[in-house]
Structure 1
């Protein structure tokens, strides 16, 4: 039986300070993981806040050859579609650093939700415990492509998503269990529109984000939402 999650809430006075704090945490995690295990495995999130963080990371003097990149979810769109999470990460960050191509593991969601999930599950089966997972929070409490009132499938590491309440309707998401198989989780929560989801979370009301409860707990970095 899984123990109650440990949630560490961190409030920031500006979006710049939040981004700086997250970058510092990623760098610290990467350096420690490489020192201990010889590699750093990170799961990326999509969205504007991560985009700004990735653009800062690309200019840092990191040991990029030891980084392994994964994605938490992806939209079932062509690989060159502007709404693909992988395209954004590649354009603002990954194309500018020396991470070996075979260590960047995009979700092949262009294959469709079923085949894309099957292929990514095979990729994740060969991956160790993640070192860090980055996640966002939707106004409805969703994270990755785990949505309210959707059955959570934990039968494989990556699962298909149909009828998403946010377009496009078809997606691939890493499963709850696989996202919990990590040493660290950072939620990035920005914008007053997330207040209801945060309030529900802090009251103990179950939302999709609360499914992510690894043994070490999660860190929630907040801007423009009250956490008192």
Structure 2
């Protein structure tokens, strides 16, 4: 397994450089296909990248945007990643992009998971995926110890998997490892010494111990203190 490690002096430089890199990849993908799909994480880390990316000049009306994973909460909930996307990425010039949903109103994700997956299927493989990584070496909602982790890491995994994990306050739904790893361009964003150490410690571990290993081969890792 090999990946390219990109180190930046600070987080602002990383955000500007990575937004420019993704914008260039989107333009290249749009030159080859009528529509392209980009999957991105929630959380606070990618926010500044979204702020830069949403003002880039490109054919956003031909771009489909989706989350790598989502908490199973309504879109107006303060813990909704979809809400973050609507507020930080799908604004400005990027308002013209189309959002592929990762939540549909119901009690449990299993009730409407197939319906969500059918919206995503025509958009695969992903053109670009941006992922984060936790200090426990999880990525998307592929958490060590999660109930469906083994199935989500399988080569034969479906597009989406419901996930419940120790410490997670609500059920999640996540793109599975083969979908994430199958993206034509993969970027992993990490900040701080703790996560850099976690990335190093993932080497040699199984994918069950360090789920990030399922997507690292061929990825571009971007790190700033």
Pairwise same-fold verdict (TM > 0.5): yes
1:40 matched to which residue of 2? 36
Of residues 113, 119, 123, the one that matches 2:115 is 119
Q: Give the 3 Å change call, closer, same or farther, for CA 222–85 of structure 1 in structure 2.
A: same
Q: Is the 8 A contact 1:142 1:209 kept in 2?
A: yes
CA distance in 2, matches of 1:204, 1:25: 29
Asked if residue 108 in structure 1 is aligned to residue 142 in structure 2, the reply is: no
C-alpha deviation, 1:6, in angstroms? 2.8
Aligned to 1:204: 204
Mapped contact 1:148–1:208 kept (Cα < 8 A):
yes
State the 1:100 CA deviation. 4.8
Structure 1: 5+ residue stretches without partners:
none
What TM-score comes out, normalization by structure 2 length? 0.88
Alignment of 1:2-81 (within 5 A): 5-81=1-77
Structure 1 runs of 4+ with >6 Å offset: none
Q: Secondary structure at the match of 1:97?
A: helix
- Corresponding residue SS for 1:153: helix
Return the TM-score normalized by structure 1: 0.87
Q: How many residues align?
A: 215
Report the Cα distance in structure 2 between the residues aligned to 1:137 and 1:110, rounded to whole angstroms: 28
Structure 2 residues not aligned, in runs of 5+? none
Q: 1:167 Cα deviation (Å)? A: 2.8
1:73, 1:144 within 8 Å by CA — same for their partners in 2? yes
Shift of 1:142: 0.4
Tell me how far 1:180 sits from its aligned partner.
1.6
Q: What SS does the corresponding residue of 2:223 show, helix, strand or coil?
A: strand
Distance 1:32-1:7 versus aligned 2 partners, 3 A rule: same
